[in-house]
Chains A and B, each alone.
Chain A
Amino acid sequence: MRIKAKAKGDKTEVKVMMKHPMLSYREAKKKGKEANFIVYVTAKNEGAVVYEVSTSQFLSKNPYMKFYFKGGKKGEEVEITWVDLKGKTKTGKAKIK
């Protein structure tokens, strides 16, 4: 997972690229594989949830997301966690610049 977080005045901008094939049911069938895709993503800053999305098979491969949240200071951490359809979960962290 690649995360870039940047303090911009009273808010923080976050860009994240998650590594995941995001195989839709149709794509999976074509490839003879099982469908699997990220279904839920959250981001936290200093323990507080600041971003939350439930997702589907129709996000592009290696999903990219950009979002903002209120507050966040240079040097603090942003922690992003995803869960996929099979229950695999991954967490990445980055310091706010």
Chain B
Amino acid sequence: MERRKFLGMGAGMVAVLAAPSMLMATNYREKLPEVWKIKNDEKAKGEDMAGVNAAIKAIFGSDKVEEGKVKLKAPDIAENGAVVPVSFKAEGAKKIALMQTADPEAVVAIFDVPERGIPDYSVRIKMQQTGHVVVVAEIDGKLYKAEKVVKVTVGGCGG
């Protein structure tokens, strides 16, 4: 495994470096700082997939994505966009990216699945408006995607 570099996060890095077992881990904020800045086209009202597609390419190095193998659960309608529960499973996944088209930037979270990890995750996300929630998982070197439209009645991104 390549030696991870944890530079540029100031004081926090001192704390991280002090924990030797974390050196094997991947902090994508450090490794891929640019992916977090990939923008959604806000004029498209949650319908533009260009940001998500660019993020997939930047995170996984490929945009060849198949449907299937990823199970995604998200509400059809979210009354409160500030708290949208999202769950996903992708058996055998080594890496999973959670993205959406509703907020100013596309990427929400990137998971690395450790040896004892089980890719069955739940989080709560903010959605400023109606949009697509997209989960892409890397399984046996291939990319698989699941997608769902969540209708947001009250936006939750301070917008």
The chain A residues found within 8 Å of chain B, CB to CB, are 11, 22, 24-31, 39-40, 42, 44-45, 47-61, 63-71, 81, 83-84, 86-89
Contact = CB atoms under 8 A, between A and B. Distances in A.
B141 interface: no
Contacts of A24: 103, 126, 157-158
Given A42-B25, A52-B111, A89-B15, A71 B116 contact: yes
A45 B115 CA distance: 12
B114 A50 contact: yes
Interface of B: 9-13, 15-16, 19, 21-22, 24-29, 36, 82-84, 87, 100, 103-105, 107-118, 120-127, 156-159
Contacts of B114: 48-52, 69
A66 B122 CA distance: 5
Contacts of A87: 9-13, 15
A29 to B, nearest CB: 8
Nearest to B97: A54
Interface of B is mostly: mixed
Contacts, number: 138
Given A24-B103, A29-B158, A60-B82, 10 more contacts: A24-B157, A39-B27, A42-B22, A52-B25, A53-B111, A53-B112, A56-B105, A63-B124, A70-B116, A89-B12
